[in-house]
Amino acid sequence: MKNRSKKPFRKVAVAILCGIVFGLSFISANAQTTIIDSGTCGANLTWKLTNDSTLTISGSGAMDNYGSVPGTRNPWYSYNSTIKTIIIGNSVTMIGNNAFYYCGMTSIIIGSSVFSVSSGHFYNCGSLTSINVDTNNLYYSSINGIIYNKMQDILIYCPEGRTGTVIIPNSVTAIGYLAFFNSKITTVIISNSVITIGNSAFSSCRNLKSVTIPNSVTTIGDNAFSDCSGLTSITIPNSVTTIGNWAFSSCGLTSITIPNSVTTIGYGAFVCYHWFVGYYSNLTSIICEAITPPDIDVSTFIDSTIPVYVPCNSVNAYKTANYWNSFTNFIGMSDTVFIFDTICQGAVYIGNGFIIKNGAGTYYRTVITSNNCNSVICLILSEYFVPITNYSSIICQGEAYSDDNFTNLTLSGNYYDTLQNIFGCDSIVELTLTVKAYFVSDTAIICQGDSYDFFGRSLTKEGVYYETLQTINGCDSIIKLTLTVSLLPDTTIYQNGCILIASGAMGYQYQWYFNDVPIPDATEHIYTYTQNGVYYVVVTNKYGCRSKSKEVIITDVGIDQLLVTSYQLRVFPNPTSEKIVVSGQLLDVSVEIFDVVGQLVYTSPAPSKGGEHSPSFGGGWGEVDISHLSNGIYFIKINNRV
């Protein structure tokens, strides 16, 4: 008997894609809107509050009026903190008094039939930031959540919750009563179309810091800026004739300049009030530019000891005018004479009593006049800036450039000359001269099979090429082109089980196709197929050269049994949900199952010693319970000893 050496233990690993695929399904349910509460709010009107925090007023006609005390409030008052949106239907004609008193909504939609809207309807709605009016409404309109009349020449109401800056459009001529009452805005820019700022227009805007009033405004109404405690300065333009009662009461103003145009200032206009200290004044000075003292009231100002600056020649008129005569400290303001003059840049100015070495600017000097009033001379000095005239020229290498300003220039660069202009001031001429070089070098890359047009020549091979040209300046130029031809990327596909592998190199880009359709997110050099069909890949190298691979036809996905011929190995059924059967001419079989990320999810018992079949795979076959595995695709690794 021949001595047989024992064969070494050899493991055969077979990677099999087991299409254990289960259908996944889900149910998407639309969120349902439910009614929290409802009722009536007018003869033909109803209201309802839904769980999306929306209050809807429906029906036709006018809403009921309500009060602000218990027993008279609107029927949804108890829900005020939860209401976020209010929709007023298209057939509602009037909004009731206090209908939305202290409501917490952030937005309102007003229908097409409402013909009466005022700030009182939304009193103390501090979260309200936007009101939108139906475009078919005949009486009102809205821009950026602010209500205007239909013609948009009167600003009706800005929501209390608005913050930041508001720019009033050019169509507006009047800002209405209580238009910005209690608003949280910090800045308002009023267009120069506005003529009237209405009564209480900005009352209680305590965050208001800056107001731009144009010189088109003639009237500032009663209480227009009352209780704007954050407003510490304001410029009243020289177009305003009337300042209403309490117009700037309880503001943060410490000084005020009243322009020459003002003829009337109402009572309490610059008086502050606090319930604990009573009436008081923040003003430390008053400047009144009016030559004729404006009409005031006994309470227009209440601190008669602060200095009042008035035109020098009008001091006596103020001392005898009604209620102005209570002030004790008038100071005559100087007359100002304005002089405008110009010098050359860098020159010293001597004239009108000035010696100025610092160039352009505004300068003052005081002259005592015969009536003991100071007169101020204001010199506004400007400069003729040194103009710089720029021009350029091109010459050929070896030539010399000359013109009216320069001679015999042969090198590229910037050249300067100084001239004198018509004002006697120096001006500078700058020439940018370019000397055209003979030689220009360029490079290009094309893909294999493409061509490159080089001044009419179609180039297809790598190499260095030259062309001689004559420029528009008559200079010969030699163009050197270094052409590189990039090989098309290799598109060989290798197949390993259900894995397609494309050859490639660093920087390549890949796009796999299935039945001539790009596969989403299939942009790596490896692709695992899951369907029968025709596959190929398009590879692009770093130069943008593209190449398409040969097509690979796949027909082995989803068959009932997978067979490895050498061992008559069969795995079935496929797909499955409960178990799989592994059979074949195998000894000492063990089975391992991996998920798609390579994680081991199942291991069968180890093979028994002495060459006998594994206890779970006796007789060359065995079952694997996979009922515990999640839906998906798995790989089976079968180990045996031959």
3-state SS assignment for residue 158: coil
* pLDDT(6) > 60: no
Confidence at 494, pLDDT banded by 50, 70, 90: confident
- What was the pLDDT predicted at 606? 55
pLDDT in tens, 198-209: 999 999 999 999
Domains of the chain from N-terminus onward: 45-302 (3.80.10.10), 335-384 (no CATH), 388-436 (no CATH), 439-486 (no CATH), 493-554 (2.60.40.10), 558-639 (2.60.40)
- What was the pLDDT predicted at 416? 83
Confidence at 406, pLDDT banded by 50, 70, 90: confident
Confidence at 566, pLDDT banded by 50, 70, 90: low
* pLDDT(165) > 80: yes
- What was the pLDDT predicted at 641? 58
Confidence at 614, pLDDT banded by 50, 70, 90: very low
- What was the pLDDT predicted at 577? 76
Distance CA 351, CA 340 (A): 11
Q: What is the DSSP string of 27-92?
A: ---PPPP-EEEEEEEETTEEEEEETTSEEEEEESEEPPP--SSTTTS-TTGGGTTT--EEEE-TTE
pLDDT in tens, 510-542: 999 999 999 999 999 889 888 888 999 999 988
pLDDT in tens, 545-555: 989 989 988 87
By the 8 A CB rule, do 135 and 111 touch? Answer: no
Cα distances (angstroms) measured from residue 345 to each of 16, 352, 416: 89, 19, 18
3-state SS assignment for residue 499: strand
Confidence at 568, pLDDT banded by 50, 70, 90: low
What average pLDDT does the segment 500-513 reach?
86
What average pLDDT does the segment 616-639 reach?
76
- What was the pLDDT predicted at 271? 95
More confident residue, 579 or 616: 579
Mean pLDDT over the full length of the chain: 83
- What was the pLDDT predicted at 275? 80
- What was the pLDDT predicted at 474? 65
* pLDDT(289) > 50: yes
pLDDT in tens, 206-265: 999 989 899 999 999 999 999 999 999 898 999 999 999 999 999 989 989 999 999 999
What average pLDDT does the segment 105-123 reach?
89
259: preceding bond cis by omega (within 30 degrees):
no
By the 8 A CB rule, do 444 and 420 touch? Answer: no
- What was the pLDDT predicted at 157? 95
Of these ranges, 19-33, 200-214, 325-339, the one predicted with the greatest mean pLDDT is 200-214
438: Cα separation from own chain's centroid:
51
pLDDT in tens, 334-375: 767 788 888 887 788 888 888 888 888 888 887 765 555 667
pLDDT in tens, 134-163: 999 999 999 999 999 999 999 999 999 999
Confidence at 28, pLDDT banded by 50, 70, 90: very low
Q: Is the pTM of this model over 0.75?
A: no
- What was the pLDDT predicted at 21? 31
Catalogue the E-assigned strands of 371-508.
Answer: 374-384, 388-396, 413-420, 426-436, 439-447, 452-454, 457-459, 463-470, 476-486, 493-496, 499-502
Determine what percent of the chain is predicted with pLDDT higher than 70.
86
What average pLDDT does the segment 579-583 reach?
80
- What was the pLDDT predicted at 247? 96
By the 8 A CB rule, do 109 and 89 touch? Answer: no
- What was the pLDDT predicted at 156? 95
Distance CA 94, CA 41 (A): 11
Distance CA 287, CA 285 (A): 7
Distance CA 532, CA 529 (A): 8
468, β-bridge pairs: 478
What average pLDDT does the segment 177-204 reach?
95
Instruction: List CB contacts of 566: < 8 A, sequence separation 6 or more.
Output: none
- What was the pLDDT predicted at 113? 95
